[in-house]
Amino acid sequence: EAFNANVAAASNLNAFIVATPEQALAAADKVDADRAAGKALGKMAGVPIGMKDLFATNGVQTTAASHILEGFKPVYESTVSQKLWDAGAGMLGKLNLDQFAMGSSNETSYFGNVISPWRRNDGGNAALAPGGSSGGSSAAVAARLCPAATGTDTGGSIRQPAAFTGISGIKPTYGRCSRWGVVAFASSLDQAGPMARDVRDCAIMLEAMAGFDPKDSTSLDLPVPAWESGLSPDLKGKKVGIPREYRMDGMDDDVAKSWDDGIAWLKDAGAEIVDISLPHTKYALPTYYIIAPAEASSNLARYDGVRYGLRDLPEGAGLQDMYAATRADGFGPEVKRRILIGTYVLSAGFYDAYYTQAQKVRALISHDFQKAFTQCDVILAPTAPTAAFALGEKSGDPLEMYLNDVFSVPASLAGLPAMSVPAGLNREGLPLGLQIIGNAFDEQGVLNAGLAIE
């Protein structure tokens, strides 16, 4: 009943695309049965979680919030979701997102935008964006519809929605969580991770999600550390780097203040604060918006009306017409924009000027971080340049929307673990997030600094 009530309450937020309370209930029942039988319980035993609708779930519609996949029911389970079920979790439903995870506000979903449960303290009732692309996940956890949800992060889609809704979320090192069965956006960047109320819950859930998978050629063949038992908010002997290039002109006052608060909290926890430089930061956004669309245009070529979901077959149409009609009808405007940009930067005449160049700059951005991590253990920065904006405020201007990702894409391009934790409210009463970026494989360092902040 509680599950049904939660799902019903969720309809105001439009967080769920499909509800599966029976699956959450089955997981809860299994806990009772296992306990009665004296069996050991998994890390996530009985926990009802939301699943971003980018993870293939066996027999349950998987859409990536796109019309082109509407009605698609996979006959297989993604590795990450399977690991969560193996750890005892149960699925409450499939959560809304930006279409193919392209967006920062959840407004590109075919199934309508998600509404953040937060409101400004100005007495008005303006509906705010829950962030994106994991906006269904952030809204559902923030509204306490479920204690945790999966997210995916290509350029910030776990961290920015977590920041907008006052929850925690971590994108682990690229390769920690298998991409097998996760609808691909930009394969060299895509990474799954947990979104939950606090750092400890993120650590527990990440342990369940991570691990080597021979079905993903970029999966890390490393044991999963015991992140939860390794949690410690004591940062004595640790150095925290403050990247000077992130202090951009015109930075929102409240964001700058929360960054200063974070610095003070980490000092209190025993850390030494050091000034660092990430000189190629200003190239991260243009680099990301070349590489991500390039990979997307290639990944999305598979949606042709033959293999999945939607097929538009006009009277007397041939195969080419069917492809064209299906894709014209099935993809939303932002997805089409990315496919066009991606196809352009990969085209014979422009490949070297854009794609190859972007790959070179990506290497420089990585080197910046490598150098920084000889001077510090983790890096502290804001997650996003502002708190949540109103629905509709930025959706008319793609460039303005892309600017939201300015602090989150560098860690993505470098494949580094990065987390957003809640760091208080701004003057409008809206949550702000602080981001901790760690060296490759150092999720523990990231989680521990997060614990010291929360």
- Rule CB under 6 A: is residue 156 a binding residue for ligand GLN? yes
Query: Which of 50, 93, 147, 155: binder of ligand GLN (CB under 6 A)?
Result: 155
CB of 438 to ligand GLN, least distance (A): 18
Q: ∠ CA 151-154-159 to the nearest 5 degrees?
A: 55
Nearer to ligand GLN, 82 or 191 (CB): 191
Strand partners, 379: 241, 437
Residues 185-244, interacting with ligand GLN (CB under 6 A): 185
Query: Which of 102, 345, 388, 421: binder of ligand GLN (CB under 6 A)?
Result: 102
Query: Which of 63, 133, 137, 219: binder of ligand GLN (CB under 6 A)?
Result: 133
Interatomic CA distance for residues 33 and 65, integer angstroms:
36
Q: Which two tokens stand for residue 405?
A: 């990702």
Number of residues that bind ligand GLN (CB under 6 A): 13
Q: Are strands 418-425 and 378-382 parallel, antiparallel or unpaired?
A: unpaired
Residue pair 195/161 in contact (Cβ under 8 Å)? The answer is yes
Residues 157-176, interacting with ligand GLN (CB under 6 A): 157
Nearer to ligand GLN, 218 or 444 (CB): 218
Query: Which of 14, 154, 168, 326: binder of ligand GLN (CB under 6 A)?
Result: 154
Interatomic CA distance for residues 287 and 44, integer angstroms:
38
Nearer to ligand GLN, 162 or 292 (CB): 292
- Rule CB under 6 A: is residue 382 a binding residue for ligand GLN? no
> Which region among 12-20, 151-159, 277-285, 416-424 touches ligand GLN (by CB under 6 A)?
151-159
Cα-based distances in Å from 13 to 138, 194, 330, 358, 387: 11, 20, 24, 38, 19
Report residue 16 CA to chain centroid gap: 16
Q: ∠ CA 428-434-437 to the nearest 5 degrees?
A: 160
How many C-beta neighbours within 10 Å does residue 1 have? 7
- Alpha helices, H only, 347-442: 357-372, 398-403, 409-413
Site string for ligand GLN, 389-428 (x = CB under 6 A): ----------------x-----------------------
Interatomic CA distance for residues 110 and 63, integer angstroms:
9
- Rule CB under 6 A: is residue 435 a binding residue for ligand GLN? no
User: Residue type at 349?
Assistant: G
Q: Which residue is nearest to ligand GLN (CB)?
A: 157
Residues 292-331, interacting with ligand GLN (CB under 6 A): 292
CB of 154 to ligand GLN, least distance (A): 3
Nearer to ligand GLN, 185 or 373 (CB): 185
Nearer to ligand GLN, 104 or 386 (CB): 104
CB of 355 to ligand GLN, least distance (A): 17
Residue pair 404/160 in contact (Cβ under 8 Å)? The answer is yes
Cα-based distances in Å from 451 to 36, 199, 202, 373: 35, 6, 11, 20
Query: Which of 42, 88, 103, 175: binder of ligand GLN (CB under 6 A)?
Result: 103
Cis check for the bond before 133: say yes or no (omega within 30 of 0).
yes
- Rule CB under 6 A: is residue 101 a binding residue for ligand GLN? yes
Q: Which residues are catalytic?
A: 52, 133, 157
User: Residue type at 316?
Assistant: G
Q: Which of 196, 132, 193, 87 is nearest to 384 (CA)?
A: 132
- Rule CB under 6 A: is residue 104 a binding residue for ligand GLN? yes
> Which region among 98-106, 193-201, 312-320, 445-453 touches ligand GLN (by CB under 6 A)?
98-106
Interacting residues toward ligand GLN by CB under 6 A: 101-104, 133, 153-157, 185, 292, 405
